[in-house]
A and B are shown apart, each in its own frame.
Chain A
């Protein structure tokens, strides 16, 4: 038995194995029986990473990239703040300065009708960031408030959000349908706005492979970005399908023009203005104040990437519907934090609603731990992009499925489970939660929705009528919070007033006491004089009388 060479053997053997692996690296990638065999590269970690761009159909959160993108956004925002910056971020066209929205300001709780809310928010804000409370306070104080309602096909076509918008605007002021994309790569019906667009190349966050890099790296949470050269045009016209949608007083068109371009904005048929947009990487805004119920954008020269336009009033509530079909929420990771943050800086979001889960639910599946982790990442992502906004996770809606044997519909059986995981995610991220399925069950569940014609016959998607019910409940929950806030404020004011009164009474008493004291002292100083004069007997008599 050879013994002495064994320790040499371990060195020799490992060296041989390393050399062998390096040698195998010369075999190129090949394919057998449909299986891809990659070239092995045992020295890979010593090389610069060459596989930078991977195929993304399925996004996951990348917080390193997020941090980088946010840093760029902050740089852009600071740049815009410096006076010396020669390239403007905002191009204004003031046709007429709109007056601040008239509204009945809510001075007391009595001004909101008494309401029977179904489902309150659960605010898990244990870190006392008070973002949700701030949102409520802004509403109660009549400040302008902006809501981003992000969702899937459940809210496509402005279902639910159109009623939510109407409910909130009728109570807290504000007009207009909010944000509308410049173009969408498929046809949809949206009652709240009429949009006609042509000559754009439009890309969706759900199909990133189709988009060129320049577009894919600049997607906003709206999910769609339209790229257009001279001739590309979009016309946004308000409708009167709901109250308060028309008579908008301002429009904000969001776009990027990397190279200098020339665009035209037309109001109605007569008013027309042209803008030279200097080339820059930042998101830019064309701000139009005036009668904007019919507004057109047309690219005249150069190339522009346009997100869309927001139709709104100067103040009050604005609700933006960001629905992306078959998105389970993960598409937010495919959007650019740089863009999101810049738009947030322009528009200023106060509430971000995350409504997802319909596409993740499986019959009788009760474990959604992986999805819960994703929701956490989504919350963290949204928090970074919209640092001043409160976040509400909206639980999955009720859903029934057809039993193949009996041909009857039965509950999908996983709604409560998924809801509890979504709630757990909100809990651990210290944001608010609202339970949609409980509201729907309170209203009779999916069968009642279908029989009332509030939902499609697929027992999955609600329609406008159903959306109205859920939206009312959501708005009621918000109003309930506002009422509570006002009540508490009044209570605090009352207590303060009482304390003030008590304080003043005390001061008054002390002043009287001081007065008495000084009188006494005067009397005391006079007494010897009186005694000297000889009236003392009388004084003594009175004292004796007192003792009796």
Chain B
């Protein structure tokens, strides 16, 4: 039983584990989270029928979760919540009195955008100034961006705007709003939650989780863990990163495979983490919206944005596209609005050439597709309406446009020096254009066969019909407590083995989700 014996430093280590450690922020895919979820659940069981107490309990735990995730930026989160809670009340009062709410909404937007801009753009401009040799005194490198800042800022804007549009009533108590904003499963990477959908859940007298819900939650968590911590991690560490860093030679075939690999990696990473979040929330009886719907099945770019990061594209549509005027000012203005929405959406990921180019790419594609729909009578909006062959071809084209967009993303993530932003992108395209010999696939399979196999597996699973998802879900539900327990234990075991192997292989432990920077 030596396995269960600990030395005298145990207590100190427990205490230091409970504190915020910038080197290992708490995510939903860590052992610490499993333990804290258990401790949380013990209390949750006792107060399940007392909404008031429950709200306080979950909120306090959420705040602690955010503290473990991002340290004292906790105060920023509370500050945003307080300011928009007060502004929201004021907006509602003015609305009742029939006065203009524009000023209040503008104030809220200004505060939130200022916070976002400070953390997102300052680094870029400081770099720019430094590069112009004015420099020396400015240094932004030490400033850490608060985790999930864009997510809570976006939700907070949406809350105030929704009140001013009259679609929701402001929440009565500050703690309710803090709960809405800080609810821990969605804290890091979303999905973005609409106040309209979430407020009724806070106010419900009792939260209930049916057998089906629990089965679905377990399926989502297991699948999410496999996607996030196995497929995405292995693909990134074994193949995509070395290929992008040039460690696998300069073959065009490898470059192309690496782009496909990155496309799968970013999807698995992001959607896997989202699935875990949705699953954990569901276990507690809260429903978060689905964030992904097999996006690479899309046959058109419009369809892609209905399947990828759904909560964000909905947000962009409702609060940016419509604010710009939407489609109410003529078709030319509609295209321009679409384009601008995507460019701003791109710049939100980070200020720089790559993200801008990514936004331009998607904006142009969306606008052109709208034009196409208008002038070609037989054009279809989604793949489901198409002939299978046309659908196949369109899906392939859409996938490649999207994949090229991700290459721009990867280029930005290399944290390039100013002026070299597109170096990776240029390099990859150059390799594919000038050094593409299909025979290179053989050495590529020899050196990274496992990773390529994992990638293929990812794509195959992705293109399986959705029915299968439901089948698996109902199977998990029917397998009962023991079956679900076994599933999760085995999945966690696989995840731990995988991360140990990756550490042994590359010497680097897995980091945060890729999307954590945004």
- B34 and A369 contact, CB distance less than 8 A: no
- A7 and B14 contact, CB distance less than 8 A: no
Partner of B41, one of A10, A22, A40, A46: A10
Q: Which of A1-20 contact B (CB under 8 A)?
A: 1-3, 6-18, 20
- B31 and A6 contact, CB distance less than 8 A: no
- Given contacts A7-B45, A11-B42, A46-B10, A1 and B31 within 8 Å (CB-CB): no
Give CA–CA (A490, B456) in the complex, Å: 71
- A45 and B13 contact, CB distance less than 8 A: yes
Contact code string B184-207 (vs A, CB < 8 Å = 1, else 0): 000000000000000000000001
Instruction: Determine the residue in chain B with the shortest Cβ distance to A14.
Output: B38
- B423 and A417 contact, CB distance less than 8 A: yes
Give CA–CA (A110, B130) in the complex, Å: 37
Q: Which of B104-132 contact A (CB under 8 A)?
A: 130
- Given contacts A3-B210, A6-B285, A60-B507, A21 and B136 within 8 Å (CB-CB): no
A420 contacts chain B at the CB level, 8 A cutoff = yes
For the complex formed, measure the closest distance between the CB of A206 and the CB atoms of chain B, giving whole angstroms: 16
Contacts of A370 in B (CB 8 A): 245
Partner of B417, one of A14, A38, A42, A424: A424
B367 contacts chain A at the CB level, 8 A cutoff = no
Instruction: Determine the residue in chain B with the shortest Cβ distance to A27.
Output: B493
Give CA–CA (A124, B216) in the complex, Å: 58
Contact code string A12-55 (vs B, CB < 8 Å = 1, else 0): 11111110111011100000000111101110111110000000
A128 contacts chain B at the CB level, 8 A cutoff = yes
- A367 and B32 contact, CB distance less than 8 A: no
Contacts of B492 in A (CB 8 A): 17, 21, 42
For the complex formed, measure the closest distance between the CB of B243 and the CB atoms of chain A, giving whole angstroms: 11
Contacts of B17 in A (CB 8 A): 45-46
Contacts of A1 in B (CB 8 A): 210-211
- A14 and B37 contact, CB distance less than 8 A: yes
B35 contacts chain A at the CB level, 8 A cutoff = yes
Please, how many residues of chain A have a CB less than 8 angstroms from a CB on the other chain? 53
- B489 and A10 contact, CB distance less than 8 A: no
Q: Which of B147-205 contact A (CB under 8 A)?
A: none
- B210 and A42 contact, CB distance less than 8 A: no
- A17 and B423 contact, CB distance less than 8 A: no
B298 contacts chain A at the CB level, 8 A cutoff = no
- B211 and A2 contact, CB distance less than 8 A: yes
Contacts of B484 in A (CB 8 A): 13
B244 contacts chain A at the CB level, 8 A cutoff = yes
Name which of A7, A369, A370, A417 has the most chain B CB atoms within 10 A of its CB: A7
- B208 and A128 contact, CB distance less than 8 A: no
Instruction: Determine the residue in chain B with the shortest Cβ distance to A35.
Output: B501
Contact code string B8-32 (vs A, CB < 8 Å = 1, else 0): 0110011001000000000000011
Q: Which one, B80-88, B356-364, B371-379, B425-433, is touching chain A?
A: B425-433
Partner of A369, one of B41, B136, B416, B496: B416
Contacts of A21 in B (CB 8 A): 31, 34, 489, 492-493
Give CA–CA (A375, B285) in the complex, Å: 50
For the complex formed, measure the closest distance between the CB of A344 and the CB atoms of chain B, giving whole angstroms: 27
- B488 and A45 contact, CB distance less than 8 A: no
- B431 and A364 contact, CB distance less than 8 A: yes
Instruction: Determine the residue in chain A with the shortest Cβ distance to B133.
Output: A126
- B427 and A367 contact, CB distance less than 8 A: yes
B56 contacts chain A at the CB level, 8 A cutoff = no
- B45 and A11 contact, CB distance less than 8 A: yes
- A369 and B415 contact, CB distance less than 8 A: yes
B400 contacts chain A at the CB level, 8 A cutoff = no
- A6 and B208 contact, CB distance less than 8 A: yes
Q: Which of B354-405 contact A (CB under 8 A)?
A: none
- B435 and A48 contact, CB distance less than 8 A: no
B470 contacts chain A at the CB level, 8 A cutoff = no
Contacts of B431 in A (CB 8 A): 364
B101 contacts chain A at the CB level, 8 A cutoff = no
Please, how many residues of chain B have a CB less than 8 angstroms from a CB on the other chain? 65
Contacts of A127 in B (CB 8 A): 136
Contacts of A421 in B (CB 8 A): 417
Contacts of B488 in A (CB 8 A): 13, 17, 20
A527 contacts chain B at the CB level, 8 A cutoff = no
Contacts of A8 in B (CB 8 A): 45
Q: Which of B209-260 contact A (CB under 8 A)?
A: 209-211, 213-214, 244-247, 249-250
Partner of B7, one of A15, A48, A367, A424: A48
- Given contacts A11-B45, A424-B417, A362 and B249 within 8 Å (CB-CB): yes
Instruction: Determine the residue in chain A with the shortest Cβ distance to B250.
Output: A364
- B246 and A11 contact, CB distance less than 8 A: no
Partner of B284, one of A10, A22, A37, A47: A10
Give CA–CA (A41, B2) in the complex, Å: 12
Give CA–CA (A367, B415) in the complex, Å: 11
A366 contacts chain B at the CB level, 8 A cutoff = yes
Instruction: Determine the residue in chain A with the shortest Cβ distance to B492.
Output: A21
Give CA–CA (A35, B497) in the complex, Å: 10
Instruction: Determine the residue in chain B with the shortest Cβ distance to A8.
Output: B45
Contact code string A112-156 (vs B, CB < 8 Å = 1, else 0): 000000000000001110000000000000000000000000000
- A367 and B424 contact, CB distance less than 8 A: yes
- B13 and A46 contact, CB distance less than 8 A: yes
Give CA–CA (A26, B1) in the complex, Å: 9
For the complex formed, measure the closest distance between the CB of A36 and the CB atoms of chain B, giving whole angstroms: 7
- B246 and A367 contact, CB distance less than 8 A: yes
B315 contacts chain A at the CB level, 8 A cutoff = no
For the complex formed, measure the closest distance between the CB of B13 and the CB atoms of chain A, giving whole angstroms: 5
Instruction: Determine the residue in chain A with the shortest Cβ distance to B206.
Output: A3
For the complex formed, measure the closest distance between the CB of B33 and the CB atoms of chain A, giving whole angstroms: 10
- A20 and B489 contact, CB distance less than 8 A: yes
Give CA–CA (A1, B246) in the complex, Å: 57
A365 contacts chain B at the CB level, 8 A cutoff = yes
Instruction: Determine the residue in chain B with the shortest Cβ distance to A369.
Output: B414
For the complex formed, measure the closest distance between the CB of A375 and the CB atoms of chain B, giving whole angstroms: 12
- B3 and A25 contact, CB distance less than 8 A: yes
Give CA–CA (A47, B7) in the complex, Å: 7
A58 contacts chain B at the CB level, 8 A cutoff = yes
B44 contacts chain A at the CB level, 8 A cutoff = yes
Give CA–CA (A22, B283) in the complex, Å: 22
Instruction: Determine the residue in chain A with the shortest Cβ distance to B491.
Output: A17
Give CA–CA (A213, B420) in the complex, Å: 43
For the complex formed, measure the closest distance between the CB of A24 and the CB atoms of chain B, giving whole angstroms: 6
Give CA–CA (A22, B489) in the complex, Å: 10
For the complex formed, measure the closest distance between the CB of A29 and the CB atoms of chain B, giving whole angstroms: 10
- B214 and A9 contact, CB distance less than 8 A: yes
- Given contacts A13-B484, A46-B10, A7 and B31 within 8 Å (CB-CB): no
Give CA–CA (A424, B209) in the complex, Å: 55
A516 contacts chain B at the CB level, 8 A cutoff = no
Give CA–CA (A252, B35) in the complex, Å: 59
Partner of B245, one of A35, A47, A363, A367: A367
- A128 and B497 contact, CB distance less than 8 A: no
- B493 and A26 contact, CB distance less than 8 A: no
- A48 and B497 contact, CB distance less than 8 A: no
B48 contacts chain A at the CB level, 8 A cutoff = yes
Instruction: Determine the residue in chain B with the shortest Cβ distance to A40.
Output: B496
Contacts of B500 in A (CB 8 A): 38
- A18 and B497 contact, CB distance less than 8 A: no
Contacts of B496 in A (CB 8 A): 38, 40, 42
Instruction: Determine the residue in chain B with the shortest Cβ distance to A372.
Output: B417
For the complex formed, measure the closest distance between the CB of A366 and the CB atoms of chain B, giving whole angstroms: 4
- B489 and A17 contact, CB distance less than 8 A: yes
10 smallest beta-carbon distances between A and B, as pairs? A365-B246, A11-B41, A6-B209, A20-B489, A14-B38, A126-B136, A424-B417, A366-B427, A7-B48, A369-B414
Q: A10-B283, A10-B284 are in contact. List 12 more A-B contacts (CB 8 A).
A: A6-B214, A7-B209, A10-B41, A14-B41, A35-B501, A38-B497, A40-B496, A45-B31, A48-B7, A60-B507, A366-B424, A420-B420
Can you list 24 A-B contacts (CB < 8 A)? A2-B211, A6-B213, A8-B45, A13-B481, A14-B37, A16-B481, A17-B485, A18-B34, A18-B35, A20-B485, A20-B488, A21-B493, A24-B489, A45-B17, A45-B31, A47-B6, A126-B133, A362-B247, A365-B250, A367-B246, A367-B414, A367-B416, A368-B246, A372-B417
